[in-house]
Structure 1
């Protein structure tokens, strides 16, 4: 088994050795809650990494926004170059949830833009968790939202070995059941193509592809190659192909689910008809029968997650499977910036519930859709055995429950808190420009926080016109682009970063 091994490039300094010892000892002793109270800039991320190395357990690190999660992920990858550090956030660049506003009789259809790179990283996280123990997953609150069953997902894995007998048609059928798409022209993520006895497939969680050569029904050769250039990386003895989506279902499961969906549909239609609500009765029948037909023919339908309780065979009212279910029993959760993240974890359920209840009441969804939801906070706590809260200003929840509160006050760099100076707003832009010039001359960078996104964009435009190398950062920027912007700041490719709320935490 691969062990966690942190890089030798860094060593604990200041208060870090004591904090690592205290938190690791508390987790090893079996304490449920512990808090790392670290002042800003004291290296709390490094302390988390060394604590993981000391306890040698899989870890889930939860951050309260995608940008902070991306930064944490990059830092953990620096600390654990030989281990699996995965990134798990929402794969939507844009997401408009399905909703109905009764007062205006306005139905808003679900609309979204999915980021394929983040979808690949999510699949990489789940596949790593099912194959190894030396895994750190850095996630946003997406980790408490519904995923497919880990058992069903594991059963859909396709394993090929050189010299073994595999019927080629069966292999193709299994790929299609796992939501891979055949495209004989262009190979891409989650696609495969076939030419005679040669099959090429690009797994959904990878950027490279594999060529499988058959001789009759025997696997003759497996080659790992670059789908863009055709460069061959290696010849392999075996290959594991994971499903292309997080929701995969077998044919027997779909057949059973369709019967259950139909039974619930008839029950809901009868309820609406007894209340003389014929419009709602017609609406729910039309929408659900379309979904059932899609499930029967393709094994998938848009909004399949709304039938997750039925597909997984769960009882009414029970919570869905989440990323947490993919972890082994002894994993540890680190809640970064817990004063922000804990309230966020607690608030996800209520907002989701009120929106879905309206959809059910007006015949847009079956009642079982209510069970496709994020975990309630009490459910989250029941699934996690040990938590480490990390914050400079932990809240009452963390402080009152933690058996051990380890303080980390000395910065490894020796830098003290900066002097805070209040200045009048008169001529503030000229004054700001003057300060930026001083920082540029010293070879340093400047962070500027504004009140709104528009203000951040306008100020950046002004600075660029003034000859300052500047960028802005806010929530409308693509998730992966945000990572690049922060990296460029560190490399010194520009001197000023203008942002809003995102700049307040953890950068």
Structure 2
């Protein structure tokens, strides 16, 4: 007797993952709190994201995925968002996935981090404190950077409720201190204006600005409004106002910094550099690069680990991250030395970043999953070669730095190793007849093909092409329910993935648009080496305009 399930075809297709022995072993190790779990064989980034999303949903633990740099966040975010929604049967998963960036600019260049980075980091830390997020994405630098404490980031923001008591003057001062800009009228995120008992504000995460009316210090009205017409569009009972940067700074803080800076850098050689900053600070104004110098009065003793709590660390290519952070620490030490020799003021790296020893200790305290393309055996050989390369018998020309291995994710640590094989998919370059033949052949072998395509129009096009070759398929969107009692050879859905892949053990093939039509998208290169010893490159392609 057949039954109708209240899920969709995409969700039902992905249940094949859970049935594999590799998945069950990983799930068991995670639930038993094994300290280190190493996964090899998952070459494609989208395959890794599927594994991470499915394991997180099953264990209900928060996962913190660590990538090497900011450029790796976008494909990870795109892939995780799609798989999380697909596995949970949702069309949007904005609240379940959180990205925490970190500035990759030179802290000794005399410039502030990019405003967008400061905003996104502060808002993410605020939301991490106030909301439940299942997956957190962050970079290696974000892992190493010192930060404000969870309590400080909570106090930096504000939650306003209707009929609550809150001084509008105090609120305006706090907005300025946390990075909001006074503009009238308010036309963009991060702006506010005040006149009498009315305060307009556009906080991050809101689709429209909010007008707050005060009766004395009582919040009398909260309304969203159209910034063009100024007309109200909806009533609110509560509004969250996250900070635009994580460290609130008032004019008096800059004046205090100027006094402390003169005491710290008393030597005459720093006079010019100091004067360039104190000319602003004495007036209570910010100056370029103040974020890297303010710790002399506002010491940052916390790190991202205090915000993550007991999250499971998921490390994408630990070997690459170790090398990258080793270079970061070496460059920081070298740049600080250069700045000091140039008679410029700066703080040493240990005031801005965790030491390697402290970072290693924090990593060791948490359960972690390592995603290593070739496994720990190959990583051990790479580590031995790296150690030999760092100690040459003869140095010619400029001396080498004092870089030493970081050993953040030691190969010597006992670990459970699981090989979960994935394969690259065929590129058809528009040869739809070959594609149809392969889908039919795969169906005869009890394998299912899932097409993940960037728009409904492209998804419908693929469905029509398959029908022309008498291939039964089902177009199913992740947020809808459908009858899944009858499986079809192919399932077509709408979403964005960085690449296609095949999981032989799960009898699942995933295709993206570039696999079929060979149309150009952005190129994404994996950091690990593939099974053939060459770098794995996912060539994404952008659809040509029509």
The TM-score, its normalising length taken from structure 2, stands at 0.64
**3-state SS of the aligned residue for 2:262?**
helix
CA distance in 2, matches of 1:126, 1:418: 38
Give runs of aligned pairs for residues 40-439 of structure 1, distance below 5 A: 40-41=43-44, 43-78=47-82, 79-80=84-85, 81-82=92-93, 83-90=95-102, 95=105, 97=106, 110=110, 114=114, 116=116, 119-146=118-145, 148-150=147-149, 151-204=151-204, 206=206, 208-225=208-225, 227=227, 234-249=234-249, 257-266=257-266, 269=267, 281-282=268-269, 284-298=270-284, 300-313=286-299, 321-328=302-309, 330-366=310-346, 368-384=347-363, 385-394=366-375, 395-396=379-380, 399-409=411-421, 411=422, 439=429
**CA 1:288/1:322 → structure 2, altered by over 3 Å: closer, same or farther?**
farther
From 483, 495, 498, the equivalent of 2:519 is 495
CA deviation map 1:156-188 (0-9, x unaligned): 222322112322222212212222211113432
**3-state SS of the aligned residue for 1:35?**
strand
**3-state SS of the aligned residue for 1:137?**
strand
CA deviation map 1:110-131 (0-9, x unaligned): 4688373x55433332122111
**Is contact 2:251-2:284 (8 Å) kept?**
no
User: Where do 5+ consecutive residues of structure 1 fail to align?
Assistant: 1-5, 100-108, 270-280, 315-319, 420-435, 446-482
**Is contact 2:251-2:283 (8 Å) kept?**
no
**CA 1:47/1:306 → structure 2, altered by over 3 Å: closer, same or farther?**
same
**CA 1:15/1:8 → structure 2, altered by over 3 Å: closer, same or farther?**
closer
**3-state SS of the aligned residue for 1:153?**
helix
CA distance in 2, matches of 1:177, 1:124: 15
CA deviation map 1:93-124 (0-9, x unaligned): xx5x376xxxxxxxxx54688373x5543333
Q: CA deviation at 1:212?
A: 0.7
**CA 1:155/1:39 → structure 2, altered by over 3 Å: closer, same or farther?**
closer
Q: CA deviation at 1:73?
A: 0.9
CA distance in 2, matches of 1:306, 1:381: 23
**Is contact 1:124-1:206 (8 Å) kept?**
no
Q: CA deviation at 1:231?
A: 7.3
**Is contact 2:118-2:246 (8 Å) kept?**
no
User: Where do 5+ consecutive residues of structure 2 fail to align?
Assistant: 1-7, 86-91, 381-408, 436-494, 500-510, 528-534, 539-546
**CA 1:485/1:383 → structure 2, altered by over 3 Å: closer, same or farther?**
closer
CA distance in 2, matches of 1:177, 1:59: 32
Q: Is 1:36 aligned to 2:42, yes or no?
A: no
**Is contact 2:126-2:242 (8 Å) kept?**
yes
**CA 1:121/1:374 → structure 2, altered by over 3 Å: closer, same or farther?**
same
Q: CA deviation at 1:205?
A: 5.3
**3-state SS of the aligned residue for 2:64?**
strand
**CA 1:32/1:98 → structure 2, altered by over 3 Å: closer, same or farther?**
closer
1:317 corresponds to: none
**CA 1:119/1:322 → structure 2, altered by over 3 Å: closer, same or farther?**
same
CA deviation map 1:381-416 (0-9, x unaligned): 22232221012223225643242112212x4xxxx5
**Is contact 1:36-1:389 (8 Å) kept?**
yes
Q: CA deviation at 1:255?
A: 6.3
**Is contact 1:309-1:371 (8 Å) kept?**
no
CA distance in 2, matches of 1:131, 1:353: 36
CA distance in 1, matches of 2:246, 2:519: 41
CA deviation map 1:437-458 (0-9, x unaligned): x72233899xxxxxxxxxxxxx
**CA 1:238/1:147 → structure 2, altered by over 3 Å: closer, same or farther?**
farther
Q: Which of structure 1's runs of 4+ aligned residues deviate more than 6 A?
A: none
The TM-score, its normalising length taken from structure 1, stands at 0.69
CA distance in 2, matches of 1:9, 1:294: 61
CA distance in 2, matches of 1:257, 1:72: 39
CA distance in 2, matches of 1:443, 1:291: 68
Q: CA deviation at 1:68?
A: 3.2
Q: CA deviation at 1:257?
A: 4.7
**CA 1:484/1:135 → structure 2, altered by over 3 Å: closer, same or farther?**
closer
CA distance in 2, matches of 1:233, 1:36: 50
**CA 1:194/1:418 → structure 2, altered by over 3 Å: closer, same or farther?**
closer
Q: CA deviation at 1:355?
A: 0.7
**CA 1:174/1:115 → structure 2, altered by over 3 Å: closer, same or farther?**
closer
1:457 corresponds to: none
CA distance in 2, matches of 1:14, 1:500: 25
CA distance in 2, matches of 1:248, 1:443: 61
**CA 1:154/1:417 → structure 2, altered by over 3 Å: closer, same or farther?**
closer
**3-state SS of the aligned residue for 1:187?**
coil
Q: CA deviation at 1:377?
A: 3.7
Between 1:60-69 and 1:291-300, the stretch displaced more is 291-300
**3-state SS of the aligned residue for 2:430?**
helix
- Give RMSD over aligned pairs: 3.8
Q: CA deviation at 1:149?
A: 0.9
**CA 1:387/1:311 → structure 2, altered by over 3 Å: closer, same or farther?**
farther
2:456 corresponds to: none
**CA 1:232/1:17 → structure 2, altered by over 3 Å: closer, same or farther?**
farther
